[in-house]
């Protein structure tokens, strides 16, 4: 199997990132159930299999580094045979001692080959070098592939935000201790 190279993105990589297919297919979602009675609020998530797979669009309207995307995160690129096949956006300015991952994309033709794992491990290493104690991943409740990746790598569910994205999807947050 060819080796995956991870490196910081250059300005010339931003057009490549913008051209990535950020969509995905899923047959599972994390469905939220909320109960409010007598001053008690209960929220539960359960994995639900859908009747058929759905095509899900990327929830962030601005790809990192694109015009109007706001403060730019650090972008780490994954290359396979010298070709860009994925990226992860990381930052450490949102919470003290915390690396925050809001963007992770792998080209569809090379998914399920360890590229997402390599990118996430590189993000963890980046956070350790920046003296961060935690790393947080955000993802849609529909993003079953990302949820499974987070759980495989030892991340724990730590919260949610209803109507987080512009399309009103729920954001799930997973965290892991780094050091």
Domain covering 4-177 assigned CATH 3.40.640.10 in the classification: no
| pTM, rounded to two decimals | 0.90
Locus of tokens 């995956």 = 4
168: left (phi over 0), alpha (psi -120 to 50) or beta: left
So what's the pLDDT on residue 163? 87
The contacts of residue 66 (CB under 8 Å, 6+ apart) are: 14, 17, 18
So what's the pLDDT on residue 91? 93
So what's the pLDDT on residue 63? 64
Series of mean pLDDT values for 10-residue runs along the chain (179 residues): 87 88 94 92 95 91 57 86 94 92 93 96 96 96 96 97 90 95
Q: What residue ranges do the domains of the chain occupy?
A: 4-177
């Amino acid at each position: 199997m060819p080796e995956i190279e991870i490196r910081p993105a250059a300005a010339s990589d931003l057009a490549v990132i913008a051209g990535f297919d950020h969509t995905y297919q899923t047959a599972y979602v994390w469905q939220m159930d909320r109960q409010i009675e007598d001053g008690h609020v209960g929220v539960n998530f359960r994995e639900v299999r859908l009747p058929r797979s759905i095509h899900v669009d990327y929830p962030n309207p601005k790809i990192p580094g694109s015009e109007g995307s706001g403060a730019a995160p650090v972008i780490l690129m994954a290359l396979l045979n010298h070709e860009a096949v994925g990226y992860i956006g990381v930052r450490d300015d949102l919470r003290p001692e915390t690396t925050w991952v809001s963007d992770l994309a792998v080209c569809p033709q090379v998914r399920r080959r360890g590229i997402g794992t390599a990118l996430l491990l590189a993000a963890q290493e980046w956070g350790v070098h920046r003296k961060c104690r935690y790393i947080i991943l955000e993802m849609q409740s529909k993003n079953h592939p990302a949820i499974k990746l987070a759980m495989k790598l030892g991340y724990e569910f730590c919260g949610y935000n209803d109507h987080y994205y512009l399309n009103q999807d729920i954001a799930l947050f997973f965290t892991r201790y780094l050091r």
